[in-house]
Amino acid sequence: MTREDLAGKIAVVTGAARGIGAAIAQRLAAAGATVVVNYRGSEEAALAVVAAIEAAGGKAEALQADVSDAAATEALFKDVLARHGGLDLLVNNAGVAKDGLLVTMRDRDWQRVLDVNLTGLQRCTRLALHHMMQKRSGVIVNLSSIQALRGGRGQANYAAAKAGVVALSRAAALEVADRGVRVNAVLPGFIETDMTAMIQRRAGDEVLARIPAGRFGTPDDVAGLVLFLCSDDAAYITGQALTVDGGMSAQ
């Protein structure tokens, strides 16, 4: 018997108009959750995700907010609570990469990656916790990356932000475990999305050779783990950093 039944739960997935976030939104909705598909700029894509969820019999709505903008993020969470009367699941998925060697990295590329991937995630987590701690239940899943463990040439900003996500998730989990709230980090390997498309074109064979499973990951590979962590099957799992990478980080 599975406890992956999310009927009656309200979920927010940030940056869910495409890629891993869209797959997560679809899996959570298929399990019964009502999903807020957050997006920054691509309204059309977000509405297409909502339409796909509804066509499959699920419930979703699209809400715009740039998670690096404090006021917009506060308004998003206020809106979710006003429209749905609660929040049970938060998946901090929104992320950006601005790769470049550290020695020549521009301050703005460092700052943007930290602002979205770490500071924005931290603010969403805090806003969700205000509500979840009061009602003594909730689950937060934060998208990190195996680059948090391995570094990555040209990704000092991204690796630093994603390592911060793991550290934040562990610290937050300790602070809220006795309030019935769980916080975990997920560390994907190389997943085929728009974010990795250029690397795949330039060095796909080289990357593939380093993946023991012999294939790139799919957004749904990540979404399956996120769904599990959101479910009661993971009721005793908190403060963890779980990789989903076809064995890449085991080498």
Please give the residues from 153 up to 172 whose contact with ligand NAD meets the rule CB under 6 A: none
Contact with ligand NAD (CB under 6 A) among 6, 10, 11, 14: 14
Q: What would the two tokens of residue 130 be?
A: 């205000």
Query: Which span (16-24, 47-55, 175-183, 224-232) binds ligand NAD, by CB under 6 A?
Result: 16-24
Contact with ligand NAD (CB under 6 A) among 29, 67, 89, 185: 67
- 238 touches ligand NAD by CB under 6 A: no
Do the strands 34-39 and 59-64 form a parallel or antiparallel pair, or are they unpaired? Answer: parallel
Could you give the CA distance from residue 47 to residue 38 in angstroms, rounded to a whole number? 10
Query: Which span (18-26, 126-134, 176-184, 227-235) binds ligand NAD, by CB under 6 A?
Result: 18-26
- 118 touches ligand NAD by CB under 6 A: no
- 190 touches ligand NAD by CB under 6 A: yes
Q: What would the two tokens of residue 232 be?
A: 């009661």
Could you give the CA distance from residue 105 to residue 12 in angstroms, rounded to a whole number? 33
b/e per residue, 4-18, with b = 16+ CB within 10 A? bebeebbbbbbbbbb
Contact with ligand NAD (CB under 6 A) among 94, 181, 223, 225: 94
> What does the angle CA 115 – CA 117 – CA 118 come to, to the nearest 5 degrees?
70
Could you give the CA distance from residue 155 to residue 145 in angstroms, rounded to a whole number? 11
Contact with ligand NAD (CB under 6 A) among 9, 40, 123, 182: 40
Q: Which is nearer to ligand NAD, 133 or 199 (CB)?
A: 199
* Active-site residue identified among 77, 110, 158, 190: 158
